C-alpha cells in the first residue's frame, strides 16, 4: 500500500464524489478528524446538485406534508465552517488510471478518491415503464408526484364517466420495500384526509383506490416477519389494497395488467421495485458484484485499488455478523462515512486504520399519519409512539441543527394543520422528457 506523503508545497487532494449520505458525511467527519493538522489537505465534494437531499422524508414532499426546502439542504451552508470545498457539476467520467475526475466544467485530479454516487431506479429493461412510470428518487420526482396527484383530482372532479373517474383516482405503487410502503400510506392519507376536503363535492372516498403491488410473498423484507404482517394489517385497515405474489405485466398509461390476469384502469403508476448502481460506477474497471457495486476491503478501500474508497449504495461491503452484504440504506452510508473519513485521516496522520463492522440493529417504516413500525434488536414498537420515535430519529440525523428545527416545525405543521394541496407547477407535466409528453392519459 502506498503512503500518503505530500510533495513539497503541492496540496494533498481528497476528492469526494457525491454529497449524499455517504459523501457529505465523509467530508464533514474528515474535516473534523483532521482539525488543524495537515492544512495542505484539500477536501473537495462534487455533486450535480448544490444540496444534500434527505431521502427518508421525500414521500412527505410528494404528498404535500413538507415543503421541498425542508429536505434539501445547501451543501455550501453545511461546509461553511469546515475546510471542505464544494464543486457543483455533473460528473461525466472517473479516470482511475490518470487519477482524475472529469465534470461538466473541468477535470479534477486527486490523491484519494471517495465514491458515494448512490443508485438509480432499476426498471429491469422495461422501456415502457421507464418512459411512463413515476419514481421517487429526488426532489423533482416528489414535486411531479405531488402535482400529478392534485391534477388527477382536478380531472376527476368534472369527469362524467364513473369508469374513467375511478381510473383517474386509482394510484398504483409497485414494490413494497420501505419506499413503496411509506409512499402508499402517505398517498392514501393525502387523498382521503386532505384532497377529499377540497374535492368532496363531486368525489367520494370510495372512488379513491390505492393499490400496492409486490412480486414476492411479503412486504418489507428488511424488517422481522412479525412486523411485515403487522404492516400489512395496518395498510389494509386504513384501506390500501395489498397484492402479494403479484407482478405487473404492463401499463400503457391507462390500463394496468397484472400477471394474475386482472386488468383495471389507473392513470398513476409509481415504480419503487428496485435500484441499480450509478452507471459511472458500473463502468469502473474494479472488482464488482453482480449488481455493479464495488467490492471493498473491511477498511472500505476498493479491493483492487489503493486510495479509492467506496461507501453507501456503491459499496459491496460484507457484514461480518450476518456474512452478507450490508443493505443499501442511509444508515449504512452514514456509518461507513465515519470509517472512511477516519481511515483517510489516519493514513495522513500515520495512525492505525479501522475496519467497518456494524451490527444492523433494525429498521423503521412509517405508514400514513401518526403510525410507524420500529424494530430494534428484540424491541418492536408500533403506532403513534413508533411514529414519534421515527420522526425524532430521522430529524436528529439531519446534518445541521437549523434544519432539524425546520423539519420539526414542518412536522408540527403536518400534525396540527392541513397538508398543502396547491399545484405549484415548477415541474409542469409538459416539461417531462419528450417520450412522456404524448402518452395517453386516463381522461
Ligand X SMILES: Cc1cc2nc3c(=O)[nH]c(=O)nc-3n(C[C@H](O)[C@H](O)[C@H](O)COP(=O)(O)OP(=O)(O)OC[C@H]3O[C@@H](n4cnc5c(N)ncnc54)[C@H](O)[C@@H]3O)c2cc1C
Site residues, ligand X (CB under 6 A)? 18-23, 46-49, 55-56, 58, 90-91, 116-118, 136-137, 178-179, 278, 280, 312-314, 328-331, 333
User: Which triple of cell numbers denotes residue 42?
Assistant: 484539500
CB of 303 to ligand X, least distance (A): 18
C-alpha to C-alpha distance for 103 and 92, rounded to whole angstroms: 5
Of the two residues 8 and 285, which places its CB atom closer to ligand X in the complex?
Answer: 285
Q: Which residue is nearest to ligand X (CB)?
A: 20
User: Which triple of cell numbers denotes residue 9?
Assistant: 508545497
Of the two residues 156 and 329, which places its CB atom closer to ligand X in the complex?
Answer: 329
Q: At what angle do helices 330-348 and 21-34 cross, to 10 degrees?
A: 30
How many Cβ atoms are within 10 Å of 185's Cβ, its own excluded?
27
Of the two residues 155 and 316, which places its CB atom closer to ligand X in the complex?
Answer: 316
Residue 65 in contact with residue 26, Cβ under 8 Å? no
What sign does the CA torsion over 45, 47, 51, 53 have? negative
Of the two residues 56 and 410, which places its CB atom closer to ligand X in the complex?
Answer: 56
Of the two residues 251 and 394, which places its CB atom closer to ligand X in the complex?
Answer: 394
Strands 170-174 and 268-271: parallel
Residues with Cβ < 8 Å from 275, sequence gap 6 or more? 119, 120, 121, 122, 313, 328
Question: For the residues of 241-281, what is the DSSP string, one character each?
Answer: EEETT--EEEE-SSEEEETTS-EEE-SEEEE-S-EEE-HHH
Of the two residues 19 and 231, which places its CB atom closer to ligand X in the complex?
Answer: 19
Residues with Cβ < 8 Å from 412, sequence gap 6 or more? none
Distance of CA 1 to the CA centre of its chain: 35
Residue 343 in contact with residue 317, Cβ under 8 Å? no
Of the two residues 37 and 48, which places its CB atom closer to ligand X in the complex?
Answer: 48
Helix (H) or strand (E) holding 128: helix 127-132
CB of 157 to ligand X, least distance (A): 29
Of the two residues 120 and 207, which places its CB atom closer to ligand X in the complex?
Answer: 120
How many Cβ atoms are within 10 Å of 414's Cβ, its own excluded?
19
Cα distances from 58 to residues 40, 53, 141, 335, in angstroms, run 38, 8, 9, 21
Angle, alpha carbons 211-132-155 (nearest 5°): 65
CB of 88 to ligand X, least distance (A): 9
CB of 2 to ligand X, least distance (A): 26
Of the two residues 72 and 150, which places its CB atom closer to ligand X in the complex?
Answer: 72
CB of 142 to ligand X, least distance (A): 8
CB of 45 to ligand X, least distance (A): 9
CB of 48 to ligand X, least distance (A): 4
User: Which triple of cell numbers denotes residue 58?
Assistant: 421525500
The residue count for the chain: 443
Question: For the residues of 336-403, what is the DSSP string, one character each?
Answer: HHHHHHHHHHHHHTT-----------EEEEE-STT-EEEEETTEEE-HHHHHHHHHHHHHHTSSSHHH
CB of 140 to ligand X, least distance (A): 11
CB of 400 to ligand X, least distance (A): 17
Of the two residues 115 and 258, which places its CB atom closer to ligand X in the complex?
Answer: 115
CB of 146 to ligand X, least distance (A): 13
Of the two residues 133 and 169, which places its CB atom closer to ligand X in the complex?
Answer: 133
CB of 268 to ligand X, least distance (A): 17
Amino acid at each position: 500500500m502506498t503512503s500518503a506523503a505530500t510533495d513539497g508545497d503541492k496540496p494533498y487532494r481528497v476528492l469526494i464524489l457525491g454529497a449524499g449520505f455517504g459523501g457529505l458525511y465523509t467530508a464533514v467527519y474528515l474535516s473534523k478528524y483532521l482539525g488543524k493538522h495537515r492544512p495542505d489537505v484539500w477536501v473537495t465534494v462534487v455533486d450535480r446538485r448544490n444540496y444534500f437531499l434527505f431521502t427518508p422524508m421525500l414521500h412527505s414532499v410528494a404528498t404535500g406534508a413538507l415543503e421541498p426546502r425542508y429536505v434539501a439542504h445547501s451543501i455550501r451552508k453545511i461546509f461553511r465552517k469546515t475546510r471542505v470545498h464544494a464543486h457543483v457539476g455533473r460528473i461525466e467520467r472517473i479516470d482511475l488510471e490518470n487519477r482524475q475526475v472529469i465534470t461538466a466544467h473541468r477535470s479534477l485530479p486527486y490523491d484519494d478518491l471517495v465514491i458515494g454516487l448512490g443508485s438509480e431506479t432499476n426498471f429491469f429493461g422495461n422501456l415502457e415503464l421507464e418512459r411512463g412510470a413515476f419514481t421517487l428518487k429526488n426532489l423533482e420526482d416528489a414535486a411531479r408526484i405531488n402535482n400529478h396527484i392534485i391534477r388527477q383530482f382536478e380531472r376527476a372532479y368534472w369527469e362524467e364517466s364513473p369508469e374513467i373517474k375511478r381510473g383517474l383516482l386509482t394510484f398504483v405503487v409497485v414494490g413494497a420495500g420501505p419506499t413503496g410502503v411509506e409512499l402508499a400510506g402517505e398517498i392514501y392519507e393525502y387523498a382521503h384526509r386532505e384532497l377529499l376536503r377540497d374535492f368532496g363535492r363531486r368525489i367520494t372516498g370510495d372512488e379513491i383506490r390505492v393499490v400496492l403491488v409486490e412480486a414476492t410473498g411479503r412486504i418489507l423484507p428488511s424488517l422481522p416477519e412479525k412486523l411485515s404482517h403487522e404492516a400489512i394489517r395496518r395498510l389494509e385497515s386504513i384501506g390500501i389494497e395489498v397484492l402479494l405474489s403479484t407482478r405487473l405485466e404492463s401499463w400503457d398509461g391507462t390500463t394496468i395488467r397484472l400477471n394474475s390476469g386482472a386488468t383495471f384502469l389507473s392513470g398513476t403508476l409509481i415504480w419503487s421495485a428496485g435500484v441499480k448502481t450509478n452507471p459511472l460506477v458500473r463502468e469502473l474497471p474494479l472488482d464488482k458484484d453482480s449488481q455493479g457495486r464495488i467490492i471493498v476491503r473491511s477498511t472500505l478501500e476498493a479491493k483492487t485499488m489503493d486510495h479509492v474508497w467506496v461507501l453507501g449504495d456503491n459499496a459491496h461491503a460484507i457484514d461480518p455478523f450476518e456474512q452478507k452484504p450490508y443493505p443499501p440504506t442511509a444508515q449504512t452510508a452514514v456509518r461507513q462515512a465515519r470509517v472512511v473519513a477516519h481511515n483517510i485521516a489516519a493514513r495522513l496522520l500515520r495512525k492505525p486504520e479501522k475496519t467497518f463492522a456494524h451490527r444492523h440493529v433494525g429498521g423503521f417504516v412509517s405508514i400514513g399519519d401518526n403510525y410507524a413500525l420500529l424494530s430494534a434488536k428484540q424491541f418492536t414498537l408500533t403506532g403513534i409512539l413508533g411514529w414519534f420515535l421515527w420522526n425524532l430519529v430521522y430529524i436528529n440525523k439531519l446534518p445541521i441543527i437549523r434544519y432539524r428545527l425546520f423539519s420539526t416545525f414542518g412536522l408540527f405543521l403536518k400534525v396540527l394543520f392541513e397538508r398543502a394541496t396547491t399545484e405549484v407547477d415548477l415541474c409542469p407535466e409538459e416539461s417531462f422528457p419528450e417520450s412522456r409528453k404524448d402518452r395517453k392519459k386516463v381522461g
